Amino acid sequence: MENDDAGMVEAVVPGELAGERLDRAAALVLPDTGLRGRRRLIEAGRLLVDGRPKPAAYRVRAGEKLAARIVTRPEGEFRASDIPILFTDAAYAAVAKPAGLHSAAIACGGGQSLEALLPDIFPGREAMLLSRLDRLTSGIVPVAFDAVAGEGYRRLENAGQVAKTYLAVVHGGIASPFVVDFRLDMADRAKTRVGRTADPDPLRHTHVVPRRTESGLTLVACRIARGARHQIRAHLAASGHPLVGDPVYGRGEGPRLYLHCARLESPVLTAAHEPPWSLAEAARTVGSDALGKNAEKECE
Give the catalytic positions in this structure: 134
* All residues at 6 or more sequence positions from 290 whose CB lies less than 8 Å from its CB, including other chains: none
Beta strands of 111-162 (E only): which ranges? 128-129, 138-144
Please, which residues have CB within 8 angstroms of residue 26's CB and are 6 or more apart in sequence? 33, 38, 41, 42, 47, 66, 68
- Please tell me the total number of residues recorded for the chain in this structure: 300
CA distance 141 to 101: 12
Among candidate residues 102, 99, 83, 130, the one with its CA nearest the CA of residue 41: 102
* Contact between residue 72 and residue 6 where contact means Cβ atoms under 8 Å apart: no
